[in-house]
Amino acid sequence: MSAGHAAYDVFRWVRPLHRAAEHVVATSLEGTPVGLGGRALLERLDDVGPQTVPQLAAWLGVSRQAVQKVVDDAIARGILATRPNPRHRRSHLVEATTDGAALFRDLHERELDDLTTLTRGIPEEDLRTAARVLEQLTTALHSR
């Protein structure tokens, strides 16, 4: 098998894995005040701090309108809040509220527990290699 075939096998599994993971995460969010979109925003804000709606939209690869809708809903639920943006008068910064940050920590902890169970039997070294390869492939595709 060539490197091309090996890479192709990686790409073949990306879509089914993405779908299966989304399904499991969506199920685990039932009964919480966020859905997949809200959870994705909380993760991003936890990673990089306050962001504008256009920045969040660019990161997720969805429309600003779609992000705005999730943001508005999360604000109504007390999960996110906006504050003035020192750099752009018109584009407010979105940030997690104390409740939102606590919710994400809870969700994330549960997910890590779940993943530890799920990946029992897969060597940790292999998981690390896989994560590194996916990052390398993503970077390579983006720089084309």
Site membership for its own copies, residue 128 (CB under 8 A): yes
The 12-51 site mask, x for binding its own copies (CB under 8 A), equals: xxxxxxxxxx-xx---------------------------
Q: Shortest gap between Cβ of 122 and its own copies (angstroms)?
A: 5
As a whole number of angstroms, the distance between CA 45 and CA 50 comes to 6
Count Cβ atoms below 10 Å from residue 126 Cβ, excluding itself: 10
Q: Shortest gap between Cβ of 39 and its own copies (angstroms)?
A: 12
* Residues 98/101/105/111 CA torsion (nearest 10 deg): 140
Site membership for its own copies, residue 57 (CB under 8 A): no
Site membership for its own copies, residue 129 (CB under 8 A): yes
Site membership for its own copies, residue 133 (CB under 8 A): yes
Interface of this chain with its own copies, residues 61 to 100, rule: CB under 8 A:
61
Could you tell me the CA-to-CA distances from 117 to 32, 41, 47, 49, 114 in Å, in that order? 22, 25, 24, 30, 5
Alpha helices by DSSP H, listed for the chain, are 3-29, 36-48, 53-60, 64-76, 98-118, 124-142
Which residues of the chain form contacts with its own copies (CB under 8 A)?
Answer: 1-21, 23-24, 61, 111-113, 115-116, 118-122, 124, 126-138, 140-142, 144
